[in-house]
Amino acid sequence: MDLHILDHRLRVTCISKSGLQHYTHPLIKLIFLRNRTRCKFFSLTETPENYTVVLDEEGFKELHPSEHLQVEGSTWLPLNVVSNGNASSSSQAVGVTKIAKSVIAPLAEQHVSVFMLSTYQTDFILVREKDLSVVVETLVEEFNIFREEGGESVPVHSQDSCNGLQRNGREVPHATVHPVLIPENHFCVMSLDPDTLPAIATTLIDVLFYSNSPKEGASVDQDMECIKFFSFSLIDGYVSLVMDTDAQRQFPADLLFTSSSGELWRMVRIGGQPLGFDECGIVAQISQPLADSDISAYYISTFSFDHALVPEEDITSVMEMLQTQRKEMSS
Amino acid sequence: MDLHILDHRLRVTCISKSGLQHYTHPLIKLIFLRNRTRCKFFSLTETPENYTVVLDEEGFKELHPSEHLQVEGSTWLPLNVVSNGNASSSSQAVGVTKIAKSVIAPLAEQHVSVFMLSTYQTDFILVREKDLSVVVETLVEEFNIFREEGGESVPVHSQDSCNGLQRNGREVPHATVHPVLIPENHFCVMSLDPDTLPAIATTLIDVLFYSNSPKEGASVDQDMECIKFFSFSLIDGYVSLVMDTDAQRQFPADLLFTSSSGELWRMVRIGGQPLGFDECGIVAQISQPLADSDISAYYISTFSFDHALVPEEDITSVMEMLQTQRKEMSS
């Protein structure tokens, strides 16, 4: 299999709930006005706590500093696994499950923090630029590694980066067991033709920027067991949307599409306290048992918590699996 | 003819060019998200100087005070002339020309300031609430006057308001001759089905909120003789747009419509220095000769200047007319 280090230098930022309106102007530009910006990697995820915005340096320039914006200090690089037909795995599972054993687990063992961003199209594994040499050293046996540079794929060899492994290599992964939350919402992972993005503009703007103000005449029987979670990304021209079925009903039915019609996902939110960015092995802890059971999963990290999405029919076995893991780790 | 005092209490405000981005959030809500606001009267006009926003009190609540927002101190009421079939005028002209002699001139004589807002659908004559009694007293002979209240039209009689006329009545209208500017742009006055507003959302957002930042790859051969002028209004569910042909080309051709296809207008901008809100007779000075010559005209007041739009084929005679008027007044 091939591993591509993509040609994007990313920042991970967070906008407070009350601060979002101050960023309406740059965010609408980044989402809808592609010919006004050079930003090629943009992702915005709303959670109950805040808005996580991951974007490249061109996009980051648009976000003026303010008390409402928090910025993680590092530059992150997105990695991407491409099956080149020779994949040895017989797994039918998709998402983070496919890369759990080959990428996530080895990186966790080498104490490399990862920030995951699954989209409709693929799964981006974000690693800190400073960890790149360790990453290459760790993954070079399993993968042909390429670095994308100005549209070309340049092979990367491990001798280019030999001093990293010593630094992170020998540490034992931290084994905190984080509490999980399993909300009642059902989620869809969707896409649309980027040329039809204007057709959903007002709905998307409404959902992203105004959904916290009560709608005139709307009923207020909100299910307290549901969680607010909405993710939009526009990466290299591809749109991906993750939303619950309540949000989905607001969009025109004929424009958004899922990979298999009617496929719904349940969420496992990881973390009782905000997770931070330094702990390693969080993704591994949940993706390993999913891989063992061949259960597909999307995985979306945010500024505060991590979120795995599993097929709704598998949620019971995932819950049992997590309980078992919990007992084993605490014994 | 009938004169209706509409059921809107309006504020006239102004957002600075550099401050617009701070008002993106409330303005997009007012323009596109009708079910999130009770605002029923909204108008936004961009000029080279600033953005004039006229809106009712529900809409005004959305605009947070800041150094970027100027607010005219008065409450304004919109008047509207409705021909009820018994119109004595044989004029084919439209717009402010139709009401020049019956409304504009008498109010100027009574020293009542007016703020004009022509739209695709009609011409709103805004007067200060405190001047209402003078307005009624002045126009009651010519019109059946109704006050719209909660969806009903209530007849208004002059004895309800007899003390106003003494106050303003005997003053001689001020006869300042303001310089005029006649830019090269050609303008269209357009409308669209409000249900198709989402279809032009990204274009409208681009034009309104991002047109001052250079477009990637756009050429910069801006004609210095042209003026930036764009007006959008959403009043009682009706959309009106005034834009030049350059802006028009950015919109999908099949959604916007004009009253007669291909009708183009030239602008006469009135005022060398910002006009303020207290001088009377500015509209009268230009609309009277237009009425004498039966030339149609739209008229849009803004925070700084007034703007008349006349049919492109009449611009030469309008220019001559203005020159003659100028000579007469200075002699």
Q: What is the pLDDT of residue A273?
A: 86
> Which residues on chain A are in Cβ contact (under 8 Å) with B66?
none
Task: Specify the DSSP class assigned to residue B306.
Answer: E
> Which residues on chain B are in Cβ contact (under 8 Å) with A206?
32-33, 36
Q: What is the pLDDT of residue B218?
A: 43
Higher per-residue pLDDT: A262 or A184 = A184
Average pLDDT, chain B: 88
- Report pLDDT digits (tens) over B154-165: 999 876 544 444
Pairing relation of β-strands B2-5 and B144-149?
Answer: parallel
State the best of B210, B211, B255 to mutate against chain A, taking most chain A CBs within 10 Å.
B210
Beta-carbon separation of A201 and B206 below 8 A: no
Residue B173: pLDDT over 80: no
Residue B93 CB contacts under 8 Å (≥ 6 apart), including other chains: B290, B291, B294, B295, B296, B297
CB-CB contact of A177 with A330 (8 Å): yes
Beta-carbon separation of A210 and B29 below 8 A: yes
C-alpha closest to that of B23 among B209, B197, B206: B209
State the best of B17, B18, B21, B68 to mutate against chain A, taking most chain A CBs within 10 Å.
B21
| Cα separation, A236 vs A111, whole angstroms | 29
**What pLDDT band is residue A79 in, cutting at 50, 70 and 90?**
very high
B331 touches chain A (CB under 8 A): no
Beta-carbon separation of B28 and A198 below 8 A: no
| Cα separation, B156 vs B172, whole angstroms | 27
- Report pLDDT digits (tens) over A5-56: 999 999 999 999 999 999 999 999 999 998 999 999 999 999 999 999 999 9
Average pLDDT, chain A: 88
Average pLDDT on B201-230 reads 75
- Report pLDDT digits (tens) over B253-279: 889 988 766 689 999 999 888 888 888
Beta-carbon separation of A25 and B29 below 8 A: no
> Which residues on chain B are in Cβ contact (under 8 Å) with A210?
29, 33, 36
ipTM: 0.86
**What pLDDT band is residue A271 in, cutting at 50, 70 and 90?**
confident
Average pLDDT on B80-91 reads 66
Residue A145 CB contacts under 8 Å (≥ 6 apart), including other chains: A2, A3, A4, A5, A136, A139, A155, A156
Q: What is the pLDDT of residue B319?
A: 93
Of A162-166, A230-234, B37-41, B132-136, the range with the lowest mean pLDDT is A162-166
Beta-carbon separation of A25 and B24 below 8 A: yes
Q: What is the pLDDT of residue A276?
A: 85
Beta-carbon separation of B201 and A203 below 8 A: no
Q: What is the pLDDT of residue B273?
A: 86
| Cα separation, A37 vs A234, whole angstroms | 12
CA angle at B162 for the pair B158 and B166, rounded to the nearest 5° = 130
C-alpha closest to that of A307 among A248, A230, A192, A222: A230
What residues does B69 pair with on adjacent strands? B15
| Cα separation, B40 vs A22, whole angstroms | 25
Q: Computed from CA positions of residues B10, B16, B21, B22, in that sequence, does the dihedral angle turn out positive or negative? A: negative
Residue of B nearest to A208 (CA): B25
Residue B217: pLDDT over 50: no
- Closest-CA distance, B225 to chain A, in angstroms, reads 25
Average pLDDT on B140-151 reads 93
Task: Give the count of Cβ contacts less than 8 A between chain A and B.
Answer: 71
Residue B286: pLDDT over 70: yes
- Closest-CA distance, A102 to chain B, in angstroms, reads 41
| Cα separation, B247 vs B188, whole angstroms | 10
CB-CB contact of A250 with A268 (8 Å): no
Most confident of B47-61, B168-182, B251-265: B47-61
**What pLDDT band is residue A213 in, cutting at 50, 70 and 90?**
low
Transcribe A260-303 into DSSP letters.
Answer: STT--EEEEEE-SS---S---SHHHHHHHHHHHTT--BEEEE-S
Instruction: Name the helix (H) or strand (E) containing B268.
Output: strand B265-270
